[in-house]
Amino acid sequence: MEVKFINENDFELWDNFVDDSIQGNIFCKSKWLSILSNEIRILVVFENNRIIAGIPLPCTKKGIFGMPKLTPKLGVLFSNEFQKLNTVKRNAKEMESLNLLIKNLPSGMSWDYNFSENFTNYLPFIWNNYNVNLKYSYVINNLSDLDKVYSNFSYDTKYLIRKAMKNNIYVEESNDVKAFYEVNKKTFERQGMQIPYTYNLIEELYNKYKDVNAKVFIAKNKENEPIAGLFLLFDDECSYYLMGGADPKWRKYGSQTLLIWEAIKFSATVSKKFDFEGSMIPNIERAFREFGSEQKIYYNVEKNSVTFNLVYKFLRKHKNIIRKFVNV
């Protein structure tokens, strides 16, 4: 086995590996990483001139290796050839690959990634003093029968869909990224927060993925005003509720619920599953659960340097003082 960082010439080889790995997803590919990351580093294990394991390592800031914006899961990927081995040989192959990867991970102040729900072998990380933290996502696992999908919705969700339609709210596919961004921004403003991504980033994502892997859906009222929006990213395996938001004045009319239902219906034509990307926030978790989605457990793996932990604790302790100083 040989472990090394690949260069741009090998990105196509990596992307094909991602397609074949059960831990792979659209976010692990070089195209996504090149848009969302300041620096792309992909560490792989080669055997017989083939990639058998690897991990994308986007660097969000100097010395900070972590999840880029809008990216739900990355982590270690294994070759699907591992699935053909018996349990003893598969575990041995995973252990050997993981030990090589961990030994060659770049040093930095912070290392923090979410792994695929299809990755299960965290022992080598634990043995090397990484922290492993439980997280949840919500997924509709089978979109082949939309009648069955709808029947699994809660009464409240079905009621909000009907309510939206009775109030002449309708949903359309749109290329108006600006309208989506503005209505999405209102969700954050309602909570006294700044939207965490720029319009330019969303426009770039849409323009680079719209031909094959992205759709924007806009809910409008009878005056044809945008009142809710949803950005969907998808591949053959799964559609992802990447971003969404609604005008607070129209939330009670079910605009966002109807919007999600229409996105699910479209997703059934292109993907096997619909991933809400989950949330640890109670109100959001409940809303996603009401669509009849199933809980999916995945894990976050992180490790911080002593310096990083000290700085982080200081900033948290003195955040109010720092905020006042910055706003002077």
Supply the pLDDT for residue 280. Answer: 64
Please check whether residue 106 lies inside any domain of the structure.
Answer: yes
pLDDT at 322: 39
Residues 20 and 124 in one domain: yes
Asked, for residue 8, whether it belongs to a domain, the answer is yes
pLDDT at 234 > cutoff 60? yes
Please enumerate in sequence order all residues whose Cβ is within 8 A of that of 139, keeping only pairs 6 or more positions apart, or say none.
238, 273, 274, 275, 276, 293, 294, 296
Q: Are residues 112 and 7 in the same domain?
A: yes
Average pLDDT over residues 103-108: 88
Q: Does residue 281 lie within any of the structural domains?
A: no
User: Domain check: are 175 and 256 in the same one?
Assistant: yes
Overall residue count recorded for the chain in this entry: 328
Cβ neighbors of 146 (< 8 A, separation 6 or more) are 264, 265, 268
Q: Does residue 15 sit in the same domain as residue 68? A: yes
Domain end position, chosen among 271, 290, 315: 271
- Taking residues 281-287, report their average pLDDT: 79
Whether 52 and 45 have beta carbons less than 8 Å apart is answered as yes
Residues 7 and 74 placed together within one structural domain of the fold: yes
The verdict on 28 and 92 lying in the same domain is yes
Question: Is 174 within the bounds of a domain?
Answer: yes
CATH number of the domain within which 39 lies:
3.40.630
Residues 67 and 122 in one domain: yes
Whole-structure pTM value: 0.90
User: Residue 179 belongs to what domain range?
Assistant: 143-271
Question: Structurally, how many domains does the chain consist of?
Answer: 2
Each residue of 262-276: b (16+ CB within 10 Å) or e? bbbebbbebbbbbbb
Residue 148 and residue 34 share a domain: no
**pLDDT score of 109:** 75
Integer-rounded Cα Rg, in Å, for the chain is 21
3-state secondary structure at position 169: coil
Q: How confident is the model at residue 305 (pLDDT cuts 50, 70, 90)?
A: low
What does the DSSP 8-state code read for residue 240?
E
Specify the pLDDT at position 115. Answer: 98
Mean pLDDT across the stretch 118-141? 96
Q: What is the CATH number of the domain that holds 193?
A: 3.40.630.30
Higher pLDDT, 108 or 210: 210
Q: Is residue 278 part of a domain?
A: no
- For residue 289, tell me if it sits in a domain: no
Q: Which of 271, 290, 319 is the last residue of a domain?
A: 271
